[in-house]
């Protein structure tokens, strides 16, 4: 029954994440008004808004206009259920579970918004910075999280390094490179996981980003000056860090 509850919870919050992903870039309120079809603008009834199940029953189409609904909606709900279940399986009923569920939801929203719109909403990064720092004052937190001094150093380091890169790139090339949203996202990671996570995530996310664009560079379908959303790579790098966190720390200490 516990896992059933977690699955339902993951689906519901995944549905909310979809609302945020659609509305935040349009600067619309995420809690104002019922969900509606992005094609015909008709309101979606509750029976057509059940996470994953409704999408499958409707074959990925709107009941009213019959136009296809992006598979991203189902993917986000599925990932939310998957992450919530994995987190609960590892950490059980703890504060760590609640915190990581909140962070995973925020990461998904950032991932898909940046992937499509090349922006990272301040509403998400600022709130996650604040929560990441506030939680560090709890002395009983899981060792995954740093104390408040380490958290503060990590947040300032994460933001400061990327801000410096952006500043010097602009001075040399006379144009924007990375966006400040990426700096704020590194600030989030620093506040949540401490300074030790920053160099690892910068390195891994940069390598993954480079490897992902090499094929398109070779095909001349992309140039070195082409804009790419770096937020998703930062998030992937953070997930890899969390997976190898114990091994990484043992190498340093």
**Model pLDDT for residues 122-151, shown as the tens digit of each residue:** 999 999 999 999 999 998 889 899 999 999
- pLDDT value of residue 68: 86
DSSP the chain: -HHHHHHHHHHHHHHHHHHHHHHGGGT--SSSS--B-TTT-PBPPGGG-STTHHHHHTTTB-TTT-PBPPTHHHHHHHHHHHHHHHHHHHH-SSHHHHHHHHHHHHHHHHHHHHHHHS---HHHHHHHHHHHHHHTT-TTS-TTS--HHHHHHHHHHHHHHHHHHHHHHHHHHSS--S-HHHHHHHHHHHHHH-TTHHHHHHHHHHHHHHHHHHHHHHTTSS-TT-----HHHHHHHHHHHHHTHHHHHHHH-
Q: CA of 113: how far to CAs of 41, 70, 181, in Å?
A: 21, 14, 12
Q: CA of 28: how far to CAs of 32, 73, 154, in Å?
A: 8, 18, 32
Residues in the chain with pLDDT < 50? none
- pLDDT value of residue 76: 96
Q: How far apart are CA 52 and CA 70, in angstroms?
A: 12
pTM of the model: 0.90
- pLDDT value of residue 170: 79
- pLDDT value of residue 57: 84
- pLDDT value of residue 177: 63
- Structure token pair of residue 216: 């398109």
Q: How far apart are CA 107 and CA 207, in angstroms?
A: 20
- Structure token pair of residue 195: 């300074």
- pLDDT value of residue 225: 57
């Amino acid at each position: 029954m516990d896992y059933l509850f977690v699955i339902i919870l993951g689906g519901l919050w995944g549905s909310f994440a979809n609302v945020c992903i659609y509305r935040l870039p349009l600067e619309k309120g995420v809690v104002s008004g019922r969900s509606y079809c992005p094609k015909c603008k008709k309101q979606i009834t509750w029976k057509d808004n059940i996470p994953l199940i409704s999408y499958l029953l409707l074959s990925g189409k709107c009941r009213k206009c019959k136009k296809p609904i992006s598979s991203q909606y189902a993917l986000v709900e599925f990932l939310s259920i998957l992450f919530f279940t994995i987190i609960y399986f590892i950490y059980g009923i703890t504060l760590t579970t609640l915190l990581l569920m909140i962070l995973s939801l925020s990461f998904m929203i950032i991932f898909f918004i940046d992937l499509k719109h090349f922006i990272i909403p301040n509403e998400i990064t600022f709130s996650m910075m604040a929560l990441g720092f506030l939680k560090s004052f709890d002395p009983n937190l899981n060792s995954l999280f740093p104390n408040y001094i380490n958290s503060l150093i990590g947040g300032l380091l994460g933001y400061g390094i990327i801000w410096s890169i952006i500043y010097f790139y602009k001075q040399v090339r006379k144009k924007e490179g990375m966006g400040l949203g990426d700096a704020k996202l590194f600030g989030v990671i620093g506040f949540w996981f401490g300074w030790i996570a920053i160099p690892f995530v910068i390195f891994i996310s940069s390598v993954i980003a480079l490897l992902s664009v090499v094929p398109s560079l070779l095909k001349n379908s992309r140039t070195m000056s082409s804009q790419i959303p770096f937020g998703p790579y930062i998030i992937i790098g953070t997930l890899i860090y969390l997976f190898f966190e114990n091994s990484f720390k043992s190498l340093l200490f």
